Amino acid sequence: MTTKSSDKLSSQACEACHADAPKISDEELKTLIGLIPDWTAQVHNNVMMLEREYRFKNYKLSWAFANKVSELAESEGHHPAILLEWGKVKVTWWTHAIGGLHKNDFICAAKTDQLTA
């Protein structure tokens, strides 16, 4: 069995994050984004975030996936923005407490990818 590079992230758990936790560095961003290649780093309102859009055959499948992401978020204690539409779900992870990206966001992005398997 081959191990995907995202498994390095998805096997980890989120750590409690506080307002003075460090944001990831540019070098860390390059390394971590390489482990989740379907995600993009986007800046919204001067805040770096991770985004990915998932496509589905209908609304019911999109809704079911959004519910799985919500359950993941609650179990990790880390909550994304989830935009549910007919045939697609956009998930955006970032760490509210620090106004940017933390390793937790990459861990949760990798775990989100596993929900489609």
CATH number of the domain enclosing 55: 3.30.1360.20
What per-residue confidence (pLDDT) applies to 91?
Answer: 98
Type of residue at 18: H
Residue 32 belongs to some domain of the structure: yes
The predicted structure's pLDDT at residue 21: 85
Tell me which residue range forms the domain holding 43.
Answer: 22-114
Domain-located, residue 7: no
The answer as to whether 34 is a domain residue is yes
**Confidence at residue 116, expressed as pLDDT on a 0 to 100 scale:** 87
| Residue 13 in domain | no
- 103 belongs to a structural domain: yes
Residue 71 lies in a domain: yes
pLDDT at position 1, please? 35
Neighbours of 59 (CB within 10 A): 13
In a domain, 107, yes or no: yes
What pLDDT does 20 receive?
A: 80
Q: Can you tell me the distance from the alpha carbon of 35 to that of 42, in angstroms, rounded to the nearest whole number?
A: 16
- Chain length of the chain: 117
Q: What is the pLDDT of residue 86?
A: 97
**What is the total count of domains within the chain?**
1
The separation between the first and the last C-alpha atoms of the chain, rounded to the nearest angstrom, is 15
For position 81, what pLDDT does the model report? Answer: 97
Report the chain (117 residues): mean pLDDT per 10 consecutive residues.
59 69 92 96 96 98 98 94 98 94 94 90
